[in-house]
Amino acid sequence: MPPGDLDRALCGLEFPTDANVIVGLERADDAGVYKISDDLALIQTVDFFTPVVDDPYRFGQIAAANALSDIYAMGGVPKIAMNLVGFPLKEMDIGILRKIIQGGLDKIKEADVVLVGGHSVEDSELKYGLSVTGFVHPRKVLTKKDLRPGDRMVITKPLGTGVINTAIKGGLASQEVIERVTQMMTALNREAAEVMQNYPVHACTDITGFGLLGHLAEMVVGSGCSMQIEAVKIPVLPEAIGYAGMGLMPAGAFKNKEFRSGMVEFSSSVDPVVQDILFDPQTSGGLLICVDKESADDLVSNLIIKGVVDAVIIGEVINEPKEKIVVK
């Protein structure tokens, strides 16, 4: 969803809260967090969207991996899920929905989560996703805030899914590329989240619709800090560079760029195509982990050992200029 477009409906409304709300609506974080006791808090999130690939089973997997990701991004463990379905019953075979739900179910099982319910409505457009509840220790909640100068920024999946999905819709992507990007989008952020539990992580989010720079901007706003990012270190699917060079950027990338360009300073050495890809909206993207600098190399080595092979340090938190992202 382009930043702000529908969120504007929330402006000026008053939301109820209580003393146990650790992360609520005013924080605009990956999920809400509610303290139940001194050593247990609930994390709640919900995510659903229209198909991003043609294969219904794979679409189910992607939507579920994406919904589960917000629990991982908060430093939590997902436990319970519910299906959300909108389905055009008069135009589509119910067998398609069955395959979508099977895809989601297989990811839910892989995450050791149980499905306890759901809700379906007849809809003109197919939509699927999950609401997910997870657990976290109240003092181990990872929000987007709490950056400290010197911290390193680690990314766990390559960028470029938005560009490649645009190429797929245009019928331009090869079967090989479709396979690669689908595998990336169906991959859970579970391993990354489990590894990061053992490190002094100060902040975390997952990269989705706002693109890398949009999500970095959310971390920087209000922090008093800035970030310096090295463009050459950022993993990008090679095919995405090719397609982006052909102008196959999704509309969301330009919206993201327009919204946040005031916060971003690109050095002239950064290829304009790469600049655009840094705003590319991701579907079921990786985690963005802000970790103490002493532990950053060790975190990345361990992520790679545990199969998160694209994990890499892309930059660091700096003091000046205030609340900007400098891309070198």
Contacts with Co ion, residue ranges (CB under 5 A): 30, 47, 70, 73-74, 142, 204-206
CA distance 103 to 32: 26
In order of 188, 240, 313, the CA distances from 184 in angstroms are 9, 13, 19
CB atoms near residue 209 (< 10 Å): 18
Sheet holding 264-266, edge to edge: 201-206, 287-291, 152-155, 312-318, 226-229, 325-327, 264-266
Residue closer to Co ion by CB (options 97, 136) is 136
Residue closer to Co ion by CB (options 164, 219) is 219
Q: Is 245 left (phi over 0), alpha (psi -120 to 50) or beta?
A: alpha
| CB of residue 73 to Co ion, shortest distance in Å | 4
| CB of residue 45 to Co ion, shortest distance in Å | 6
| CB of residue 319 to Co ion, shortest distance in Å | 23
Residue closer to Co ion by CB (options 204, 311) is 204
The pairing of strands 325-327 and 226-229 is: parallel
Residue closer to Co ion by CB (options 191, 206) is 206
Name the helix (H) or strand (E) containing 241: helix 238-245
Contact 131, 64 (CB under 8 A): no
Residue closer to Co ion by CB (options 177, 250) is 250
| CB of residue 25 to Co ion, shortest distance in Å | 13
| CB of residue 304 to Co ion, shortest distance in Å | 22
| CB of residue 173 to Co ion, shortest distance in Å | 25
Is residue 21 exposed (0-12), middle (13-18) or buried (19+ Cβ within 10 Å)? Answer: middle
**Closest CB to Co ion belongs to which residue?**
30
Q: Which two tokens stand for residue 299?
A: 């975190």
Residue closer to Co ion by CB (options 52, 173) is 52
The pairing of strands 325-327 and 152-155 is: unpaired
Residue closer to Co ion by CB (options 133, 274) is 133
| CB of residue 201 to Co ion, shortest distance in Å | 9
